[in-house]
Amino acid sequence: MLSDLLWLLGVLTLGLLSPGPDFFIVVRNSLGGSRARAFGTVGGIAIGLAVQGAVIALGFVAAPPLVLRGVQVAGALYLAYLGIRSVLAQPAAENAGTGSISAAVPGAHTGLMEGLLCNLTNPKAFLFFVSLYAQVVRPGMATVWRVALPAIVVIHALVCWSLIVLAVQSPPVASRLRRAQRWLPRIFGLALLALAAWVAWGALRG
């Protein structure tokens, strides 16, 4: 079981670091400089993973194709919304003095909802976890392991995403990113729009 667990964590780490909706939204929200929003996003993703783990544990792994397609379309629309907001957003320096601090810098609640919705409207992530669990969950496996595996996945995500937030917001990295704050959020916005188009194409084609 230990070897299966190490394999699972290795695959999860590779999947987490590969460009995808969760990755882009965590980095995008970390770039804004609001640590509360960034860690709120991490918490939202973790809650989404916990929900997915619970659904898998309960055995609901064969959703009707129409339902899956609807979730894909909803996810594409949400990614497109986030992408457009990033492309049109003004750099922090341009926002200075134009409103309250709370309006200019969204907090943990905003990040939590963004992370949660981004994760839950990504059915490909759900199918990814289904395929992983199928490799390590076997008939006759002890109940404690069936319960522990989803918890380990959530803890792994919390640790890894938190390290990414701390890395992006560390002084050496943050100082370089501040010099690029005029165009870097727009690049991430375009990446989110590209992901939205890809998800929508997959839904319509399927």
- What's the distance, CA 103 to chain centroid? 23
Rounded to the nearest integer, the mean pLDDT of the chain is 76
Cβ within 8 Å of residue 49, ≥6 positions away: 119, 129, 150, 153, 154, 157
92 pLDDT more than 60: no
- What's the pLDDT at 165? 92
**More reliable by pLDDT, 96 or 157:** 157
> What average pLDDT does this structure show over 84-96?
63
- What's the pLDDT at 103? 47
DSSP of 149-182: HHHHHHHHHHHHHHHHHHHHTSHHHHHHHHHTTT
163 pLDDT more than 90: yes
Q: pLDDT of 114-161, one tens digit each?
A: 999 988 887 767 767 766 666 676 666 677 777 778 888 899 999 999
Closest CA to 180 of 35, 31, 27, 24: 31
- What's the pLDDT at 54? 80
Lowest mean pLDDT among 14-28, 34-48, 159-173: 14-28
Burial 164-190, CB ≥16 within 10 A → b, else e:
bbeebbeeeeeeebeeebeebbbebbe
**More reliable by pLDDT, 131 or 85:** 85
**More reliable by pLDDT, 60 or 67:** 67
Counting residues of the chain whose pLDDT is more than 90, the rounded percentage is 16
The pTM of this model reads 0.69
* pLDDT band with cut points at 50, 70 and 90 for residue 94: very low
Where do runs of H (alpha helix) occur along the chain? Answer: 2-17, 21-31, 35-58, 65-88, 92-95, 101-104, 108-120, 123-136, 143-168, 171-179, 184-205
